[in-house]
Structure 1
Amino acid sequence: MKKSDNKGFALFFLIAVFLVISALIGAGITMIGPRVRKAKYDRSGEILTAATQSVISWSVINGRLPDAATFPSLLPSSVDDWGRALVYIYDNNLTSSATGGICGRQSTGLLYGAVANTAFIIVSGAEDLTVNTTPSVSGAYAGTVAPATADIVRFVSLENLKNQAGCFGFTSGVLKILNNELPEGVSGTPYTGSLFADGGVPPYAWNTTVLPVWLAFNPATATLTGTPAIAGSFSVTLKVTDANGGTTTRTYTLKVS
């Protein structure tokens, strides 16, 4: 075989090797790209889940949601895996005990798409580095938050948050009538008893469903008055409603000697 033939064969071999290596590298890049992308989505999802749990934990302890200024300090990481800050959207009424906090509210003004009574939403802009959900910045919001499929989102309903905060027992912030019993009366003597409420969202509206005939109730002052003619035990049922539509009822036995 001539030297020129050997050189031609060697050159052909090198070209073939180069093409094979190039193909392998291209295939590797093609395979690695989606894996890297998936890993970033997975890690960002974990970051959002951890952020959601941090907000819930803080809220359970404090009886209200954190505001946008407090939010970043609560998180293990306040940025997603692309390095972009998480967006925190919430109902402002849930951030203050004066407006009911968590346990005192019956509803919110925040919707996530068609999901009513949403407490808060946390959003990552994901791969395109842009939050497409509206609104796209952290803060209080009243209205419908428009979901975007390009974003990674976690949201929590008010009912879920209240369940985790233990709001359905006799808990701080829950609307309740404070009186454990009514003052006793004496037959033939004018009687007065005052009712007190706490929690929920003031102001309160009072009414009664059960009263003895000799007893009157003033809903403006939450006061019972009257003069019992005879001794005995009388059933009294009172109901209070707060400004957010929360209600609670208690029944008492009023003893007259």
Structure 2
Amino acid sequence: MLKNSKFLTLALAAILSACGGGGSGGAGETQENYTITLRAEKTLLPLNIAGVGPGKGAYRPYTTTLYVEARKGSVLIPGGEDIFGCNVAGGLDSGSLYYLDGDPEHEVEVDDGNGGKIKVPAAYRSITLGANSGGNSFHFHAGNQAGTARITCSVTDPRDNQQKSASVTIAVGGTTGKPANVSMEAQIPGYLGTKNNANGLRNQMGVQAFVMDDANQPTASASGANVQVRILSGTDAAQGARLVSGAQSGSILQLPSIGGVATFSLLSGTETGAIFLELTADRFDNNVSNGIIDPITTIQPISVLEALTSAPVLADADLGTVTKGVPFTALLTVSGGLPPYVWSATGLPAGLAIDASTGMLSGTVSASAEERDYRATVTVVDKNKLSATAVVKLKVVNGLPEDFAIGDCNSTAVCSLGTIPVGNSFTYSFVASVSDVTWSFTSLPSWLTSGTTGAAGVLNGTPKVANCGEQRFLVTATKGASKVTRTFSITVVSAGSVPPGGEPVDYICP
């Protein structure tokens, strides 16, 4: 009996020790394990296809707040730094964690799009949190990928250094499996060389077609092919070009996709220019191999080059005044690009044209053309089918008529302006029969000066020395590119008597 009593006493002591924490524990201390909870304010988020940044509130629907808390038994764990570790533990590879606490250490500097810098919250896939009143909060922000993300937080129990963890699942967006758009990405550098080109440009490239649904999520093949690729005819570069994928080869392919992506290759022909690829999916049943009922289509170009050069550059030009009925020429020039060039122009006045191979603008503006300012568009295309355009300005004016008269002189003979006595003031105005004329004078006697008054050309002067011979000079009228020149003469005599109201008499020559 004594042995049994001793055993019972020891057992009761062990039980009391387990319930009360033992003799070394203080008042209120517990040996219970740590527990952790994690919850999300929203567990369903819309897709963030526009890339909107994270934030709080009703106008930030792509962000949810997560709350993490740990307890020791029923008591909140003590506060401190670096208590919780949280991360995106599985599911989506898009979507990030954010602090959104305003701490500069949790922000990054980015371009603001206007040449400056701004601070924005930094994105993380794992974060560390301190504890305040046993918990903390952080944020998850949706990306452009649909699916579920599993967020896990853990805390270390200092009693045994064992980690306790909790998880929450957040669903982002959804998929329909119905094609809504197709797009394309070409292998770098994104252009092809012509077949058998001598400049080292490759004439084959890999291309991928992307089939996406209404939520902008990849739409894989359900059965058969779900994307059709076709080379559109009508361009020089399309001649001889072909598509290949496995056993398929030709100008049209029908391909299945893996994760919404179909891969094929494009081979060029011998001509430069653009190859236009038409990509088509069928929204009706996501299958193009059994007929296309509800097509979703896009067209994408691929450039084919003979050599890698800069694009041609054509500068605007002001060709000045062009006169009706007068032959006109102007040579336009281009820089860059790959010769030979092909020139064309629209909007030129009737009678002018541009030479397709040289860029020479020439001709005679017809009488039916309007007198006004013209703005013609000139285009040049190089051998790579790269083009440049420029605006050419010119002003069309009426020319001088063949019988254009200067004063009363309308012949090629010498026209006399009469005699002028020494010491008398002389003035003569030359008036044209058309408007917008400029005047010039050549070989004028030293005592005459020229000028303009309104539309008239004017001569003024007072002779001081008699000269009974003719003094000849030239008068030229110019309108646009048209000119008329006439020869005039004037004679200076000694002063004589002049009867009242009569002609001068008794002129005396030295």
Per chain length, whose mean CA-contact separation is higher, i.e. which structure has more relative contact order (CA < 8 Å, sep 6+)?
Answer: 1
Instruction: Considering fraction of residues, name the structure with more strand.
Output: 2
Please give the TM-score of this superposition, normalised by the length of structure 2.
0.19
Which has more helix, going by share of residues? 1
Structure number, greater radius of gyration: 2
Normalised by the length of structure 1, the TM-score is: 0.35
